[in-house]
Amino acid sequence: MEQYFSIQWHITDTCGQRCKHCYIFSEDNSKPIVEMTWEQLQAVVETSEAMCKNLSHPHIAGERQSNHIPFFYITGGDPILHKDFWRLLELLKSKNIAFSLMGNPFYLRGEVCEKLYTAGCERYQMSLDGLTETHDTIHKNGSFAETLEKIPLINNAGIKSVIMTTVSGTNIHEIPALIDTVVKNHVDIFAFARYCPTSGLANQAFDKSTHIMPDEYQAFLDICWRKFETYKDSGTTFKEWAIPEGYEAKAIVLLGYPDGTAPTVKPRKEGRIIRIA
Ligand code: SF4
């Protein structure tokens, strides 16, 4: 059985939205756009292949050295807007490297989805962060409707459609109804994660509205579990992280670019990080 090592790969900052919770733009909505060059993209693919062949960290791959294959979750920004996007997909196909995309709905047409499928795209993930008004306030007007419109195009092309929700105090009460909506619209996979406040001053008002108390979150998880039970034969998968059988859940996140100044890590508060060795 192939052992995949998942790598979430941000290839560009270019994006048609400026979501309130976006960690790329949280400090400055007009920040200069950074994008990987073709040479950097090639270097990441080669380095990832080499790294996966030689994984031997005891906490990652067991005591033995093991032979893994990269699985890229390509994102941005909106990855389809990278000038070498299609060239990158050709490169991955030539190397038989599996990938999925995490992007926006705006440039998906029937023929684009078919081209993505032919290029090897396994899953296409988009965000829905609440019902229409809440989602469009966080993202942009019309984004909710356009996301749902593109689900059949993705499904018909043979790609698995994924909806990911970032849960916060702003939208937590709408998620059960959102689950009904994604099932009704034949989404293949639904997943959610809890919102992590960004560091931007511009976002402070939004961040304050996002807080969830522990008992509220526990009650929310109970409701979600009941929804998942109700819809377990619906065709929509609610598996944790939606990892298919045969895949190993090992992940590394690339949040930056190879060149430029690395940001300084803020000192961690005492007792906030627990290491399980
Ligand atoms: S779609 Fe993603 S990358 Fe674009 S602004 Fe929203 S969160 Fe940021």
What local confidence, expressed as pLDDT, does residue 259 receive?
58
Q: How far is the CA of 19 from the centre of ligand 1 (A)?
A: 5
What local confidence, expressed as pLDDT, does residue 263 receive?
57
* CA pair distance 227, 52, nearest whole angstrom: 37
State which ligand 1 atom lies nearest to the alpha carbon of 139.
Answer: 6
At 75, give phi and psi (nearest 5°). -145, -170
- Residue whose CA is at the smallest distance from ligand 1 atom 6: 19
Give me the residues of the chain with pLDDT under 70, please: 1-2, 56-66, 198-208, 239-277
Residue carrying structure tokens 């073709």: 38
HSE of 134 in the Cβ direction (CA atoms, 13 Å)?
21
**Diameter of the chain measured on Cα atoms:** 53
Q: Which two tokens stand for residue 276?
A: 């399980």
Domains identified in the chain and CATH numbers: 4-254 (3.20.20.70)
Q: 34, 104, 144, 164: which to mutate for ligand 1, most atoms within 8 A of CB?
A: 104
For 169-182, what is each residue's pLDDT tens digit? 999 999 999 999 99
Please tell me if the CB atom of residue 210 comes closer than 6 angstroms to any atom of ligand 1. Answer: no
Q: How far is the CA of 218 from the centre of ligand 1 (A)?
A: 28
How many C-beta neighbours within 10 Å does residue 275 have?
5
> Percent helix, strand and coil across the chain, each rounded to 5?
40, 20, 45
For 103-125, what is each residue's pLDDT tens digit? 999 999 999 999 999 999 999 99
HSE of 4 in the Cβ direction (CA atoms, 13 Å)?
19
User: pTM for the full model?
Assistant: 0.84
